[in-house]
Amino acid sequence: MEEKLEDIKNRLEQISEELGDIGMEALREALQAEVTATRPEIEKRLTRARRAVDKAAAIVSGGPQSTVL
C-alpha cells in the first residue's frame, strides 16, 4: 500500500506544478495585455487549487506538514 500512496503523492505533486505553471502563464498574459492592476481571477483560483493539492499530497504522505498547510 505504501507504494500506491507514494505514487499518488507523486502525481499530486506533478499536478501542483502544472497548476503553478498555468497560474504563472495567466499572470504573464495579464501583464502583457495590461488588463488590470490586480491579480486575474483565474490565477487566484489556480493558486487555491494548488494549495489544496499540496495539502492533499502532504496528507497522503503522512508527513508532519500535513497538519500545517
Per-residue pLDDT of the chain (69 residues; tens, 9 = 90+): 889 999 999 999 999 999 999 999 998 988 888 766 678 899 999 999 999 999 999 999 886 655 555
pLDDT of residue 62: 85
Which pTM was predicted? 0.81
Written as one letter, the residue type at 30 is A
pLDDT of residue 35: 67
Distance CA(13)–CA(6), nearest Å, equals 10
pLDDT of residue 65: 59
pLDDT of residue 50: 97
